[in-house]
Amino acid sequence: MAGNHGTIADMRYVGPNFDKLALATNSPALRVVDLVNSPLDMDIYEGHTDLLNTIDSTTDGLWIATGAKDNTARLWRYNEETSKFDCYAIFEGHASSVTAVGLPRTPVQNYPKFIITASEDLTIKKWTVPKPSKSGDDTEVKIVKSSDYTRRAHDKMIHAIDISPNDDFLATASHDKLAKIWDLQGDTLLRDLVIKPPRCGHWKISLVSKLSKVNQMQFNVCLSYPRANL
């Protein structure tokens, strides 16, 4: 798949049939490839003013979140009439590059209710996503400047976040060699995880459901880091 500007930082399968690939490349533009109908072409979505760092998507593939070095996150909505993605909202408030974004893991009812962002400013933020109009004709991009909470999460750059399958917990992984588990709704730190041997910090984290009961869920925490730097 040629035509990218250097590093591919992140990617997700998106679209109603998950047959499109969204790419964060060494460019401010979000790139989406239709793998079935036009695998050699890309839709390019302008908006960010600096390089993309990260992508996430909802479980139905209809919403994409992007974070960039312009200190903002953007939310994109799939347009069934055009089969393209439109910018729905911009989230402003971080003092530095947005390094990770997270959308709900539970099934989306009409629209995702929140977005989580992490930044090079060492904080995590939870934002409420503005509700779409009843007509669904939202042509004007919504600007969100106030988050539900801001929490200093780590002492060095936050490389990754993940949201639990029930949307109750948030995991963060950082260059400070710590992984942390948070109460997503109340921003309360639940646990520090000091897991060796990373000398350069944790670069990826995933919360994997292990056991599900009524009102109770347990998780395995999966971490990764660059082996070349060990």
pLDDT in tens, 65-90: 999 999 999 999 999 999 999 999 99
For residue 139, the model assigns a pLDDT of: 80
Please give the average per-residue pLDDT across 5-28, as a whole number: 90
Write down the pLDDT at residue 178: 81
In sequence order, the β-bridge partners of residue 85 are 78
Segment 144-170, tens digit of pLDDT: 999 999 999 899 899 999 998 889 889
* Block residue for tokens 């992007």: 66
The per-residue pLDDT for range 195-211, each reduced to its tens digit, is: 554 555 555 666 655 44
Confidence at 177, pLDDT banded by 50, 70, 90: confident
The two three-digit tokens of residue 176, written as one number? 């400070």
How far is the C-alpha of 86 from the C-alpha of 64, rounded, in Å? Answer: 10
The predicted-structure confidence for 19-55, as pLDDT tens digits, reads as follows 999 999 889 999 999 999 888 888 999 999 999 999 9
**Contact between residue 105 and residue 112 where contact means Cβ atoms under 8 Å apart:** no
Higher-confidence position of 122 and 223: 122
Distance CA 211, CA 69 (A): 37
Q: Confirm if 98 and 52 have CB atoms less than 8 A apart.
A: no
SS3 at position 29: coil
Return the bridge partners of 28, or none: none
Which residues are 84's β-sheet partners?
Answer: 79
Q: Which two tokens stand for residue 114?
A: 């929140």
Residues 122 and 102: their CA atoms lie apart, in Å, by: 16
* Domain residue ranges of the chain, discontinuous segments joined by +: 8-229
**Cα–Cα distance, 186 to 225 (Å, whole number):** 28
Q: What local confidence, expressed as pLDDT, does residue 134 receive?
A: 76
Residues 6+ apart with CB under 8 A from 139: none
Binning pLDDT at 50, 70 and 90, where does residue 11 land? very high
Strand partners, 176: none
Q: Which CATH class is domain 8-229?
A: mainly beta
φ and ψ at residue 115, rounded to 5 degrees? -140, 140
CB atoms within 10 A of CB 37: 10
Model confidence at 2: pLDDT above 90: no
> 5 is written with which tokens?
């500007």
Higher-pLDDT residue of 26 and 60 is: 60
The pairing of beta strand 123-128 with beta strand 52-57: unpaired
- pLDDT at residue 230 greater than cutoff 60: no
Q: What digits encode the pLDDT tens for the residues 90-142?
A: 999 999 999 999 999 999 999 999 999 999 999 999 999 999 987 667 789 99
Residue that wins the pLDDT comparison between 191 and 219: 191
